[in-house]
A and B are shown apart, each in its own frame.
Chain A
Amino acid sequence: MTRTKKFLSRAGAAALMTLAAPLAFAQTTTSTTTPGVPDTGVGGDAITTMAVLGVSAIAAIAAAMYLSYRGALGQ
């Protein structure tokens, strides 16, 4: 009797898991195919962008002036 009860409870659990499997898969699929909100703006970085442009331009101009000065001196 006890063995029969154990068998029935195990069979019941297995049946439940089998039935629940497609549901679990469906939930996983939904969560992976619905993306988060996109980042569609970068304008807030405008000041940083302009600062980087300014510093790199000044560095390049200073280096170019030094090289041309050296070239003019023939050194």
Chain B
Amino acid sequence: MTRPHLRFFAAAVLLGLGCSVFAVTLVRATVYAPAEPEAPAPKGQGLSRTQFSEQPARLRIPSLGVDAHVQDVGIAKSGRMAVPSNYTDVGWYRYGPAPGSVGSAVLDGHIDNGFGLGGVFRRLGELRPGDEILLETAGGEELRFVVEEASVYEVADVPVDRIFNRNDAARLNLITCEGVWDGESRSYSERLVVYAVLR
């Protein structure tokens, strides 16, 4: 191969590579959120525990202007609750109870996208006790929850048992990131949790 041909070939490869990296980075930053692969379902657990009609389909928070599609998510391989595959949907923890049943149904959502622009739960911290959260099930039923409390925790201090295992009422807990970005762990330093109860 002569030198001009080599340069032509290198330029063509660079063009293809540059376009591919640009497109993939842009899509990951704005459309598809980077997500760890999910671990297999824990023994005895699974989506089949919840009837399809009881599964949440849409989340509305009128005071924040949120109207989001609900995906069902499980546990990531790292052991963390998995996250929705984009920045505009929310994720319902499918191994927990269905919203409206006694127990703690948990939804998570992104606070921002790859450009630092607002995700679905960008304004979650503005919720105050008494605010309304509406959840529509796949069967068309609308459940009305009322915010009881909003708390911010350091990542190491997040009370996961309180968030996932409180069984004294039909609860809905929303969780998102908060705090400052830690470049080493590539994560935010805190989590914001909004606790709501069925009315």
Contacts and interface: CB of A to CB of B under 8 A. Distances in A.
Interface of B is mostly: mixed
Given A36-B81, A57-B22, A42 B34 contact: yes
Contacts of A39: 80, 83, 177, 187
Nearest to A52: B25
A75 B119 CA distance: 49
Report, as a range, how many residues of chain A touch the other chain.
20 to 34
A63 B11 contact: yes
A8 to B, nearest CB: 36
A50 B117 CA distance: 13
Nearest to B10: A63
Interface string A42-61: 11111001101100111111
A34 B160 CA distance: 7
Nearest to B33: A42
Given A39-B83, A40-B121, A70-B8, A32 B43 contact: yes
Interface of A: 29-30, 32-46, 49-50, 52-53, 56-64, 66-67, 70, 75
18 contacts: A29-B44, A30-B165, A35-B79, A35-B80, A35-B93, A37-B160, A38-B82, A40-B109, A42-B29, A42-B114, A43-B117, A43-B181, A44-B182, A45-B114, A59-B17, A59-B18, A60-B14, A60-B22
